[in-house]
Amino acid sequence: MKIINFDHFAATKMRQEVKDAMEPYFIGEYGNPQSIHTLGDEPREAVDKARLKAAELLNAASTEVIFTGSGSEANNLAIKGTAFARMEKGRHIIVSKIEHFSVLNSVKSLAKLGFEFSEVPVDKYGSVDPQDVKNALRKDTILVSITQASNEIGTIQDIKEISKIVHENSAAYIHTDANTSCGFIETDVKELGVDMLSAAPHRFYGPKGVGLFYLKKGIRIMPLIDGGIQEFGRRAGTENVPAIAGAGAACELAKKELKDRTLHLLPIQKTITDGVLGGLDEVYLNGHPEKRLPNNLNFVVKYIEGESMLMWLNNIGIMVASGSACTSKILKSSHVLNAIGVDPALAQGSLLISLGEDNTLEDAEYFVKELPAVVKKLREMSPLYEEVMKRNKK
């Protein structure tokens, strides 16, 4: 059976070029980039080259790019690093209600140490109103962190406008979590006007175990991992040279292919959207209809539960995710769906699709053809659907 990966936010297949870029640094050139002797030369060059490629993708200077262990770590570094460095200036942080857990749980941890945070709301499409950010700013606000695009509903935020408002009205730093968007839409830090940005190469055909952190020159953070002078002293620990080399290769590919990726993904995204909305009753799309990532879709299929849907689709080779309570480890439905006003009962029928370069139009057509039978089977055994049918008859 052919496996169709519609869950690229969980994992993308590494590109052969990425693996080739990593290969020399496992055994052959195994040296430590910090060594002064010859063994350190090639690995050091590999790290420098990767940093340059990452900087080119982000339109930053090489010295403004820090490699971390993951996108989550980059988010932690932005938030806790800023908080610890600027606590004398203030203890207030602004985030949105639909941030990734690596952002939300970072500010919650800080709250236990005496920091305060405000969560700006989003509208029904998941968009942050920059005016709400302005209204939330206080004299003691030290950081604003808003994701560039939601990892669940794909809505793209107006980071440029938010950065402008933050800088014009406060001394706060602005960070954007681009862990979902980087590699698929423009992440030009100068254009966005941000002070910090996080990205996750494994989301765009790079290796797992490495993250990117952009730190604008002059922005002060405290490292979370102290030790040697690796990563300009901002993130100590011997460099994961193969992963960093792979991240650099993934960045190089992303820069070269960014437009082509969108051109490839949009028709697939449209086929699925039209097919699902046209082929099923009582189903709707979450997130912004236009201002959204080309590689994400999020539907609510009413009266059925996401895990059952996911399991039936898995049976026919289609891998998807869901924001239902049963698919989460804490048995709570998605906070993102909650923030855009989806009734928690309906959020159970959430279907989260994330596309990638291995997907084809045929995959989309197959999915659209097979989904109605899965939904019908589950609705036939749903007491909620039964209730609605009886109500409609009356």
Could you tell me which stretch among 36-44, 89-97, 161-169, 329-337 binds another protein (CB under 8 A)? 329-337
Nearer to another protein, 279 or 344 (CB): 344
Could you tell me which stretch among 219-227, 231-239, 248-256, 302-310 binds another protein (CB under 8 A)? 302-310
Per-residue binding letters, 100-119, with another protein (x by CB under 8 A) = -x--xx--xx----------
Phi and psi based region of residue 331 (left: phi greater than 0; alpha: psi -120 to 50; beta: remaining) = left
DSSP 96: E
In 3D space, the residue among 301, 305, 303, 258 whose CA is nearest the CA of residue 283 turns out to be 301
Taking the complex as a whole, how short is the minimal distance between the CB of residue 147 and another protein, in angstroms?
17
Measured at the CA of 240, the angle between CA 65 and CA 63, to 5 degrees, comes to 15
Taking the complex as a whole, how short is the minimal distance between the CB of residue 335 and another protein, in angstroms?
8
Q: How many C-beta neighbours within 10 Å does residue 233 have?
A: 12
| 63 burial level (CB within 10 Å; 0-12, 13-18, 19+) | exposed
Nearer to another protein, 150 or 348 (CB): 348
**List of residues 6+ apart from 329 with CB closer than 8 A:** none
How far apart are the two ends of the chain, measured CA to CA in Å? 44
Alpha helices in 198-317 (DSSP H): 241-279, 306-315
Question: Is residue 382 near another protein by the rule CB under 8 A?
Answer: yes
Taking the complex as a whole, how short is the minimal distance between the CB of residue 314 and another protein, in angstroms?
6
Taking the complex as a whole, how short is the minimal distance between the CB of residue 366 and another protein, in angstroms?
20
Sole residue written with tokens 């989301």: 203
Per-residue binding letters, 42-81, with another protein (x by CB under 8 A) = ----------------------------------------
Taking the complex as a whole, how short is the minimal distance between the CB of residue 224 and another protein, in angstroms?
17
Nearer to another protein, 32 or 328 (CB): 328
Phi and psi based region of residue 96 (left: phi greater than 0; alpha: psi -120 to 50; beta: remaining) = beta
Among 29, 239, 252, 305, binds another protein (CB under 8 A): 305
Nearer to another protein, 167 or 377 (CB): 377
Q: What are phi and psi of 322, to 5 degrees?
A: -145, 155
Among 124, 190, 344, 362, binds another protein (CB under 8 A): 344
Among 16, 131, 135, 315, binds another protein (CB under 8 A): 315
CA 47 to chain centre: 24
Taking the complex as a whole, how short is the minimal distance between the CB of residue 107 and another protein, in angstroms?
10
Q: Is the alpha carbon torsion for 227, 228, 231, 236 positive or negative?
A: negative
Question: Is residue 327 near another protein by the rule CB under 8 A?
Answer: yes
Question: Is residue 383 near another protein by the rule CB under 8 A?
Answer: yes
Q: In what order do the strands lie in the sheet with 283-285?
A: 283-285, 296-301, 350-354
Among 298, 334, 348, 359, binds another protein (CB under 8 A): 348
In 3D space, the residue among 150, 144, 142 whose CA is nearest the CA of residue 122 turns out to be 150
Return d(Cα 191, Cα 128) in angstroms, integer.
18
Size of residue set near another protein by CB under 8 A? 34
Catalytic residues: 326
- Tell me which residues touch another protein (CB under 8 A): 101, 104-105, 108-109, 303-308, 310-311, 314-315, 324-327, 329-333, 344-345, 348, 380-386
